């Protein structure tokens, strides 16, 4: 497992686990960040990341990206 | 049949476009009770007995944001006859998550797959008939933007409202269903049958708001908890995640059967734009350029090489034309002719040799403003001359009287421009001249008593006009903002600036309120609404008005001219002061108990870039503009009448009454108040009645400060005290209209008081430091004042540099 913050741009990975406070995790889950779902990084800016998830673009901060774990 | 349709859907799914399409002008905007979430209701254009409620854009019906709570309370308590669920066809998988929740509420649901035109264009396929069968509810294809299929959607809604209640087709895994069945049996048997499943699932998720609402006893809760625990152990996950995952799994199976995507790997156009716009190196320069363009078009207070900004021209028109003394030329027709005629007239009748001789004397003596007046005469421009003369004539007069020099220039001017003047060109006889509001009303009040005339013209029109004068400029700003929002760039600004703003406790979304606030604080504060996190929003509301707004510009301009000889650095320093105040306040407040804790992590959907429609931009502009007019209009009306009363009621020779003017021994109520409390400002260097009255007037509208003061009164102030006065007035409590906006957005009297109190104290501390430390350089140190200033500086440094207290950190992370 590796955090989203370390993934390479453009590569598609599968989400294994979403951490963080229940409130934030719930919000991420409703946006589609659930285990088993593929994600890829579209762009990064100063540690903040734009990802492609279920065809939508979602921006997450670096702190949040460290808590989203992906398959290797 | 009278039915109510609730529009529900994700943010950016086209819900508002559809709502506007369905209701046209039959809509009204309000607030949901108790929260600052906008509530929009309307009637169908074609069936006026059908009421449509536009629910806030939400991703789910969980209890985490006020929008979600508002939406689900409305759905479960008001029970609309039918829910029209708008689903963005280009992001269908994520959008269906909400659909699975809506289907459990026991209310008929019609799913409208929006943006079908885009879906078809990209070559993707959505089998809506199949989807309808699987979901167990009607599914229609629409495009709100192109007005396709919307009639069909409404038709389906009317049919569904009369039809049977839906039965959710998705089920959860065995252990979960088992627990849900138990919960239904244990606590929900007396609820209406079609709502039981919704409540049972929420209880399974341990939704605190629902537990509270149903008033479930501790004992029953324990009983339910056993069932939940059992399911959790069996599934090896927590209850909420089990449900969420199951929903997405179910949607996954739907997708396999009904959705065919052409290609998913290629970068979309939107992605390619993002590669540039949110690029590591280019993002900030692009942002600066965009903002500079908007700012230079709309707000730039000083003329650029290519002329005044459009916004300044519009404000001048509104202030000097519509609310001015005489009026304006329609499209400027006749302005040129009139100017030429006036220039010629002035050359002959005003700028006589005697007149010029007086001005020359004043120029030689370096009297204030003489240079400006003489310059305008040399250029032969009457309009420039008139402006300079209007500002400085009284100070010149004073110079001549003080030095016992005889002068005639005022008599010449008054005679040449007075009512009896011969050949004076009349504005109305050139081009297409439109009379201003005061000029139109003047005849009606010709025989009115002078107090009534004063109340209407000085009180009401003067006060309200001063604020409404900003409306054209504000509308222009809102137009640009609506475009930036509509095309999707605003979300990127928030993304790019988030890391910068994070450092001082604000969010990337705090930038927009501050940008708007540089025009007017009222819409600026209202713009803070888009910030979800309550803490970030409160912080933004408290600090937005530190940025000098349009009404503070005249104060800056006047002080710059009067006390600093027009030095270039004064105006930028005012902005710098505002930005510094925001940063320092942000850092200080972040470390207090009220704002403690890690900032809410940034998670935000970035909608795909697209060209917004003209209609949607205009509507958004107008909605913002209208609520600005309403808010500013009502509060300013009341306060300007009050100030007018304070200015005209008072004592002359010890007799109380209404006076147009007060003699040397006279005293208006406002001045009496000024005298009584001016000692407060003594440590700041301007402890005298006029400056105090000006500050009070600033509460009505900041540009009133200039009105009270006039150029002359500054003579008593040293530049240092003047700058301290400027700093205090820029940072202290904003005008009443803005305070009203703070009250509305904070939705709490306590927080409003705290915000205004903080601003005043911060302004006082800043002005104190400026004045007392400034005195060091002039050599006239006031020991007590200096000690106070050092103490204040020490306290601020401590608040800024102290480590975040541990106890707050812990509390916040467990919350």
Is B64 near chain A, with CB under 8 Å? Answer: yes
List the one residue out of B62, B488, B242 whose CA is nearest residue A56: B488
Q: Which of A58, A59, A60 to mutate to test the interface with B (most CBs of B within 10 A)?
A: A59
Comparing B293-307, B497-511, B538-552, the range with the smallest average pLDDT is B293-307
DSSP A24-71: HHHHHHHTT--TT-EEEEEEEETTEEEEEETTEEEEE-HHHHTTEEE-
What is the ipTM, given to two decimal places? 0.92
Torsion, Cα B349 B351 B355 B359, to 10 degrees, reads 160
Q: Which residue has the higher pLDDT, B400 or B271?
A: B271
pLDDT of residue B767: 95
Q: Identify any residues that bridge with A59 across adjacent strands, giving them in sequence order.
A: A50, B604
Q: Rounded CA gap, B301 and B309, in Å?
A: 8
Q: Which residue has the higher pLDDT, B619 or B356?
A: B619
pLDDT of residue B731: 94
Alpha carbon of B153 to those of A55, B65, B114, B150, B602: distances in Å? 25, 29, 11, 5, 36
Q: Which residues contact B373 (CB under 8 A, 6 or more apart)?
A: B359, B362, B385, B388, B389, B392, B396
Q: Which residue has the higher pLDDT, B636 or B279?
A: B279
Show the tokens assigned to B630. 């309403």
Average pLDDT value for chain B = 83
% of chain B surpassing 70 pLDDT: 94
For the domain with range B4-162, which CATH number is right: 3.40.50.300, 3.40.50.1820, 1.10.3720.10, 2.40.50.180?
A: 3.40.50.300
Is B62 near chain A, with CB under 8 Å? Answer: yes
pLDDT of residue B806: 62
Show the tokens assigned to B642. 């009050």
Is B246 near chain A, with CB under 8 Å? Answer: no
Rounded to 10°, the helix B749-778/B719-731 angle is: 170
Q: Which residue has the higher pLDDT, B711 or B762?
A: B762
* Three-state DSSP state, B717: coil
State mean pLDDT over B701-720.
69
DSSP B38-104: EEEEEE-SS-TT-EEEEPPP-S-S-SSSHHHHHHHHIIIII--SEEEEEEEGGGHHHHHHHHHHHGG
Q: Rounded CA gap, B218 and B45, in Å?
A: 50
Q: Which domain holds residue A17?
A: 2-70
pLDDT digits (tens, 9 = 90+) for B185-203: 888 777 777 788 888 898 8
Chain B, window 591-610: residues with a beta carbon less than 8 angstroms from a chain A beta carbon: 598, 600-608
Show the tokens assigned to B470. 């900003």
pLDDT of residue B215: 80
Show the tokens assigned to B339. 């100017």
pLDDT of residue B812: 41
pLDDT of residue B36: 62
Please indicate whether, in this complex, the C-beta atoms of B60 and A30 are within 8 angstroms of each other: yes
Chain B, window 452-511: residues with a beta carbon less than 8 angstroms from a chain A beta carbon: 491, 495-496, 498-499, 502
Q: Rounded CA gap, B629 and B662, in Å?
A: 34
Show the tokens assigned to B322. 């519509």
DSSP strand pairing (B109-114 vs B82-88):
parallel
Q: Identify any residues that bridge with B649 across adjacent strands, giving them in sequence order.
A: B658
Show the tokens assigned to B77. 């308590």
Domain ranges in chain B with CATH number 3.40.50.300: 4-162
In chain B, what residues touch A27 (CB-CB under 8 Å)? 59, 64, 603
Please indicate whether, in this complex, the C-beta atoms of B604 and A44 are within 8 angstroms of each other: no
Residue B9 confidence (pLDDT) above 90: yes
Token pair 């839906």 in the structure block, residue: B166
Please indicate whether, in this complex, the C-beta atoms of A56 and B605 are within 8 angstroms of each other: yes
Q: Per this entry, what is the length of chain A?
A: 72
In chain B, what residues touch A17 (CB-CB under 8 Å)? none
pLDDT digits (tens, 9 = 90+) for B459-478: 788 777 777 777 888 888 88
Q: Which residues contact A57 (CB under 8 A, 6 or more apart)?
A: A42, A50, A51, B270, B271, B274, B605, B606, B607, B608
pLDDT of residue A44: 86
Token pair 């929006």 in the structure block, residue: B114
Q: Rounded CA gap, B766 and B763, in Å?
A: 5
Is B118 near chain A, with CB under 8 Å? Answer: no
Q: Rounded CA gap, A11 and B188, in Å?
A: 48
pLDDT of residue B542: 94
CA angle at B126 for the pair B121 and B132, rounded to the nearest 5°:
145
In chain A, what residues touch B64 (CB-CB under 8 Å)? 23, 26-27
Largest CA distance in chain B: 104
Please indicate whether, in this complex, the C-beta atoms of B270 and A57 are within 8 angstroms of each other: yes
* Three-state DSSP state, B217: coil
In chain A, what residues touch B241 (CB-CB under 8 Å)? 25, 29, 34
Question: In B591-688, which residue ranges form alpha helices assigned H by DSSP?
Answer: 614-648, 669-677
Residue B814 confidence (pLDDT) above 50: no
pLDDT of residue B809: 47
pLDDT digits (tens, 9 = 90+) for B98-114: 999 999 888 899 999 99
Q: Rounded CA gap, B550 and B748, in Å?
A: 27
Q: Which residues contact B191 (CB under 8 A, 6 or more apart)?
A: B199
Please indicate whether, in this complex, the C-beta atoms of A43 and B278 are within 8 angstroms of each other: yes
Q: Per this entry, what is the length of chain B?
A: 815
Is B241 near chain A, with CB under 8 Å? Answer: yes
State mean pLDDT over A12-22.
85
Q: Rounded CA gap, B383 and B381, in Å?
A: 6
List the one residue out of B683, B714, B681 whose CA is nearest residue B784: B683
Comparing B135-139, B298-302, B437-441, the range with the smallest average pLDDT is B298-302
Comparing B89-98, B322-331, B518-527, B678-687, the range with the smallest average pLDDT is B322-331
% of chain B surpassing 90 pLDDT: 15
Residue B707, Cβ neighbours under 10 Å: how many? 15
State mean pLDDT over B405-414.
79
Is A27 near chain B, with CB under 8 Å? Answer: yes
Comparing B523-527, B538-542, B676-680, the range with the smallest average pLDDT is B523-527
Indicate if the alpha-carbon torsion angle B504, B509, B515, B516 is positive or negative. negative
Q: Which residue has the higher pLDDT, B53 or B810?
A: B53
Average pLDDT value for chain A = 86
**How far is the alpha carbon of B238 from chain A, nearest alpha carbon, in Å?**
10
Please indicate whether, in this complex, the C-beta atoms of A46 and B608 are within 8 angstroms of each other: no
pLDDT digits (tens, 9 = 90+) for B610-665: 888 888 889 888 887 887 787 767 777 787 788 888 888 888 877 888 887 777 77
Show the tokens assigned to B333. 């027709």
Q: Rounded CA gap, B6 and B41, in Å?
A: 9
Q: Rounded CA gap, B328 and B334, in Å?
A: 10
pLDDT of residue B815: 33
pLDDT digits (tens, 9 = 90+) for B723-733: 999 999 999 99
How many helices (H) and strands (E) in chain B? Answer: 38, 15
Nearest residue in B to A9, CA atom: B275
Please indicate whether, in this complex, the C-beta atoms of B62 and A30 are within 8 angstroms of each other: yes
**How far is the alpha carbon of A69 from chain B, nearest alpha carbon, in Å?**
15
pLDDT of residue B707: 67
Residue B453 confidence (pLDDT) above 90: no
* Count: domains in chain A: 1
CATH number of domain containing A17: 2.30.30.90
Is A4 near chain B, with CB under 8 Å? Answer: no
pLDDT of residue B301: 59
Interface A-B: count of C-beta contacts within 8 A: 115
pLDDT of residue B142: 92
Please indicate whether, in this complex, the C-beta atoms of B274 and A43 are within 8 angstroms of each other: yes
pLDDT digits (tens, 9 = 90+) for B121-169: 888 889 999 999 998 899 999 998 888 888 899 989 988 888 777 777 7
Q: Which residues contact B3 (CB under 8 A, 6 or more apart)?
A: B49, B50, B51, B80, B81, B82, B157, B158, B161
The yes or no reply on domain B174-259 and CATH 1.10.287.1770 is yes
Region class of A69: left (phi > 0), else alpha (psi between -120 and 50), else beta: beta
Q: Rounded CA gap, A55 and B255, in Å?
A: 13
pLDDT digits (tens, 9 = 90+) for B565-611: 777 788 889 889 999 999 999 999 888 888 876 666 778 888 889 88
């Amino acid at each position: 497992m590796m955090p989203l913050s370390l993934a390479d741009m453009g590569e598609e990975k599968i989400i294994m686990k979403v951490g963080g406070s229940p409130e934030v995790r719930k919000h991420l889950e409703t946006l589609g960040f659930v285990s088993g779902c593929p994600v890829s990084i579209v762009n990064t800016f100063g540690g903040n990341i734009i990802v492609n998830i279920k065809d939508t673009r979602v921006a997450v901060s670096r702190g949040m990206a460290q808590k989203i774990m992906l398959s290797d | 049949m009278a039915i109510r349709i609730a529009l529900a859907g994700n943010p950016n799914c086209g819900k508002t476009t559809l709502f506007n399409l369905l209701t046209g002008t039959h809509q009204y905007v309000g607030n949901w009770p108790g929260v600052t979430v906008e509530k929009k209701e309307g009637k169908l254009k074609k069936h006026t007995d059908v009421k449509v409620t536009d629910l806030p854009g939400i991703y789910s019906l969980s209890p985490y944001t006020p929008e979600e709570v508002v939406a689900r309370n409305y759905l479960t308590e008001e029970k609309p006859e039918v829910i029209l669920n708008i689903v963005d066809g280009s992001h269908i998988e994520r959008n269906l998550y909400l659909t699975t929740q809506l289907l459990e509420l026991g209310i008929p649901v019609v799913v409208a797959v929006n943006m079908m035109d885009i879906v078809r264009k990209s070559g993707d396929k959505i089998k809506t008939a199949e989807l309808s069968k699987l979901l167990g509810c009607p599914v229609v294809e629409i495009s709100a933007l192109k007005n396709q299929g919307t009639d069909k959607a409404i038709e389906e809604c009317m049919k569904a409202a009369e039809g049977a209640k839906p039965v959710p087709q998705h089920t959860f895994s065995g252990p979960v269903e088992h627990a849900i069945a138990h919960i239904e049996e244990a606590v929900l048997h007396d609820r209406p049958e079609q709502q039981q499943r919704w409540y049972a699932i929420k209880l399974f998720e341990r939704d605190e708001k629902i537990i509270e609402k149903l008033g479930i006893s501790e004992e029953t809760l324990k009983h339910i908890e056993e069932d939940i625990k059992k399911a959790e152990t069996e599934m090896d996950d927590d209850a909420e995640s089990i449900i969420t995952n199951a929903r997405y799994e179910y949607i996954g199976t739907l997708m396999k059967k009904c959705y065919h995507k052409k290609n998913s790997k290629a970068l979309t156009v939107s992605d390619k734009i993002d590669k540039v716009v949110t690029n590591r190196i280019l993002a900030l320069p692009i942002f600066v350029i965009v903002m500079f363009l908007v700012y230079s078009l709309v707000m730039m207070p000083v003329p650029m090489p290519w002329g005044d900004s459009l916004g300044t021209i519009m404000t001048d028109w509104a202030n000097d034309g519509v609310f001015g003394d005489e009026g304006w030329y329609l499209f400027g027709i006749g302005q040129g002719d009139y100017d030429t005629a006036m220039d010629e007239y002035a050359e002959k009748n005003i700028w006589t040799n005697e007149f010029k001789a007086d001005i020359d004397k004043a120029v030689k003596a370096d009297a204030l403003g003489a240079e400006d007046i003489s310059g305008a005469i040399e250029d032969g421009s009457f309009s420039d001359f008139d402006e300079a003369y209007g500002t400085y004539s009284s100070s010149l007069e004073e110079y001549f009287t003080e030095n016992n020099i005889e002068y005639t220039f005022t008599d010449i001017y008054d005679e040449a421009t007075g009512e009896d003047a011969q050949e004076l060109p009349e504005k109305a006889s050139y081009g297409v001249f439109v009379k201003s509001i005061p000029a139109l009303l003047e005849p009606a009040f010709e025989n009115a008593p002078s107090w009534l005339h004063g109340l209407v013209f000085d009180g009401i029109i003067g006060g309200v006009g001063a604020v409404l004068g900003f409306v054209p400029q504000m509308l222009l700003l809102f137009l640009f903002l609506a475009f930036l929002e509509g095309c999707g760039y605003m979300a990127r600004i928030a993304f790019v600036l988030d890391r910068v703003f994070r450092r001082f406790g604000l969010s990337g979304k705090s930038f927009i309120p501050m940008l708007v606030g540089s025009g007017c604080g009222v819409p600026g504060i209202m713009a803070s609404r888009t910030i979800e996190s309550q803490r970030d929003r409160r912080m933004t509301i408290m600090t937005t008005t530190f940025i000098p707004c349009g009404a503070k510009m005249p104060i800056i301009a006047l002080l710059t001219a009067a006390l600093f000889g027009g030095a270039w650095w004064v105006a930028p320093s005012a902005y710098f002061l505002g930005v510094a105040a925001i940063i320092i306040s942000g850092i200080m407040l972040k470390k207090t108990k009220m704002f403690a804790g890690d900032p809410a992590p940034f998670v935000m959907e970035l909608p795909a870039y697209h060209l917004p429609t003209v209609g949607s931009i205009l509507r958004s502009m107008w909605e913002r503009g209208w609520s600005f007019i309403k808010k500013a209009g009502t509060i300013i009306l009341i306060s300007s009448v009050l100030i007018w009363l304070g200015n005209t009621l008072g004592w002359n020779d010890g007799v109380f009454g209404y006076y147009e003017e007060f003699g040397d021994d006279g005293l208006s109520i406002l001045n009496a108040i000024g005298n009584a409390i001016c000692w407060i400002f003594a440590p700041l260097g301007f402890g005298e009645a006029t400056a105090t009255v000006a500050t009070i007037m600033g509460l009505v509208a900041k540009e009133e400060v200039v009105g009270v003061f006039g150029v002359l009164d500054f003579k008593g102030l040293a530049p240092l005290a003047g700058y301290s006065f400027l700093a205090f007035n820029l940072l202290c409590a904003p005008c009443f209209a803005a305070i009203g906006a703070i009250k509305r957005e904070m939705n709490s009297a306590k927080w409003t008081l705290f915000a205004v109190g903080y601003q005043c104290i911060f302004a006082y501390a800043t002005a104190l430091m400026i004045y007392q430390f400034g005195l060091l350089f002039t050599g006239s140190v006031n020991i007590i004042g200096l000690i106070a200033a050092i103490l204040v500086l020490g306290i601020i440094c401590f608040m800024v540099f102290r480590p975040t207290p541990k106890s707050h950190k812990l509390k916040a992370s467990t919350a």
